[in-house]
């Protein structure tokens, strides 16, 4: 007869090993054998406070959905590196890469990146009412989005003092903002993206309202309704080069 304590110990060891493998493969760290969540959180924040962003362009351009391993080495010294060890070469990721190359904001909106805070804003995400009729055009720029989807309305309220608004004659103010959305699944695969340029020509009354409530902006996007989604939102001021980003998880209930 198997000893139940030995069975429980083996099961626990398997769980710890799985945690270590997942954390290592994604550049993270697993915490266990502790009830001190505050200390674990402080440690995680401290470890993530300093990092390097490394990018490269694969020589293999074939998007066949295969998993491709990544290895990073440091010349000289002995270091223990934490980084994501691979990616899936799928079409959605390729399309997202093309989008990011055309807009510098997207580089700050990759899953797992820390929030950019040069432009502060609030974002409200709600399911659109009513939802679009079946067969309606997709809201977003991923033509390969399939399956059941739900449309979301995203309303931004942007702190106006973080944005360059040029004063014009007659009390007018002009400015321009890039508003972007980029959605990922749990594995970091791009699902859909949307956004564009918001040109602002503000009369004195509108500018006075913005001083009290912030700069409003609106966007909408269709996202899969049958999986967890992480929606990255971003605001970019091309006049100053300042940006703000905010991640909003949309989890299945």
What's the pLDDT band for 69 if we cut at 50, 70, 90? confident
Q: What is the mean pLDDT of the chain?
A: 81
Q: Is the pLDDT of residue 193 over 80?
A: yes
**What percentage of the chain carries pLDDT values higher than 70?**
73
Q: Is the pLDDT of residue 17 over 90?
A: no
Answer whether the bond into residue 200 is a cis peptide, omega within 30°: no
What's the pLDDT band for 54 if we cut at 50, 70, 90? confident
Q: Is the pLDDT of residue 25 over 90?
A: no
Q: What is the mean pLDDT of residues 185-204?
A: 92
**What percentage of the chain carries pLDDT values higher than 90?**
46
Determine the 3-state secondary structure of 122 from DSSP: strand
Q: How far apart are CA 68 and CA 208, in angstroms?
A: 53
Domains and CATH numbers, the chain: 1-89 (no CATH), 90-253 (2.60.40.2550)
**Residue at token pair 């409200």:** 124
Closest among 45, 104, 141 to 243, alpha carbons compared: 104
Choose between 12 and 76: higher pLDDT: 76
pTM of the model: 0.61
Choose between 56 and 221: higher pLDDT: 221
Q: What is the mean pLDDT of residues 125-138?
A: 93
Output the CA torsion sign for 51, 52, 58, 63: positive
Q: What's the pLDDT at 99?
A: 47
Closest among 189, 186, 155, 196 to 250, alpha carbons compared: 186
**Residue at token pair 């990073």:** 72
Q: What is the mean pLDDT of residues 121-144?
A: 93
Locate 15 and state its tokens. 């769980």
Q: What is the mean pLDDT of residues 236-249?
A: 92
Q: What's the pLDDT at 29?
A: 63
Q: How far apart are CA 251 and CA 253, in angstroms?
A: 6
């Amino acid at each position: 007869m198997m000893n139940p304590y030995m069975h429980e110990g083996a099961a626990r060891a398997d769980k710890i090993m799985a945690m270590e493998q997942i954390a290592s493969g994604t550049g993270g760290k697993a915490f266990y054998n502790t009830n001190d969540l505050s200390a674990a959180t402080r440690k995680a924040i401290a470890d993530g406070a300093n990092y390097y962003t490394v990018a490269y362009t694969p020589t293999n351009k074939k998007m066949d959905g295969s998993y491709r391993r990544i290895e990073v080495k440091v010349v000289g010294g002995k270091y223990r590196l934490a980084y994501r060890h691979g990616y899936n070469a799928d079409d959605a990721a390729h399309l997202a890469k093309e989008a990011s190359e055309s807009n510098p904001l997207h580089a700050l909106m990759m899953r797992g990146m820390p929030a950019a805070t040069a432009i502060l804003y609030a974002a409200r995400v709600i399911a659109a009412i009513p939802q679009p009729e079946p067969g309606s055009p997709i809201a977003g720029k991923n033509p390969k989005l399939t399956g059941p989807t739900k449309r979301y309305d995203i309303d931004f309220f942007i702190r106006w003092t973080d944005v360059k608004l040029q004063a014009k004659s007659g009390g007018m103010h002009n400015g321009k903002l890039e508003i972007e959305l980029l959605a990922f699944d749990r594995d970091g695969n791009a699902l859909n993206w949307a956004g564009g340029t918001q040109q602002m020509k503000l009369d004195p009354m509108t500018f006075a309202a913005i001083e009290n409530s912030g700069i409003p902006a609106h966007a909408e996007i269709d996202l899969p309704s049958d999986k967890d989604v992480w929606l990255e939102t971003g605001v970019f001021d091309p006049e100053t080069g300042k940006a703000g980003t905010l991640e909003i998880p949309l989890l299945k209930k």
